[in-house]
Amino acid sequence: MPLTAKFVRREGWYSLSGYNKMADNTFPNVYTVLSGLAVLDEHAFPVTEDVLSIPLFSRIYKWTLHNTLRHLLQLNATTPAMLPALDSCPSSQSLLHPLPVERSCDDACIVEHWCTCNEFVNVTIKDNMRYLAQMIVTNINMWMLKNRFNQKCQPLILRDVDKVEVKKSDMMQNIVTLRILFRTYPKVGKFRTTLKYNVRLERI
């Protein structure tokens, strides 16, 4: 448990000191199972403590957790090859096996919108950015119409664009990755979308 508390604090969560609630599915107990107990079992998993010391936990997604749970059910799987690959994410692996230092969001099957490795910077909101947001709202409305959600949902109307960010590594490129945060009517819905934008042609 002390190693679990140390790890979770390092990841920015609250201290687990004195936590003794058992047999539930709260966050501390999940990490107790995935790290605390496994770290103590050095004979079965001699590399586990080294694995937990590598700061790669920003690149963990549902498939990684799924593989880790599979690993716990098959404790004799001492190498990644002993856990069959998932069809939905062949490159995912258990946290109880060493993760590659160069592990990317693609390796963890994390789409670009949720990838925390990408650095975005704020840009000035211009008319063409509002036009992009309007195009997105139009596409959402068309999707709802196509799938007959318009029978239950009102069409969206763009209210305002709150923030536009550009992927830092794309800033000098012709095609950039943008993240747009905008609000809509009714009920002031909030949306954030990631898209590729051709600066020269001013097209998505």
Over residues 13-69, the pLDDT tens digits come to 544 444 444 444 444 445 544 544 444 444 454 544 455 554 444 455 566 776 677
H/E stretch holding 185: strand 175-185
- Contact between 8 and 31 under an 8 Å Cβ cutoff? The reply is yes
CA dist 198 and 174 (Å) reads 6
Over residues 93-150, the pLDDT tens digits come to 777 777 777 878 888 888 888 887 888 899 888 888 899 999 999 999 999 999 998 8
198: nearest Cα among 172, 179, 166, 176: 176
Show me where the domains of the chain are located: 2-110, 120-198
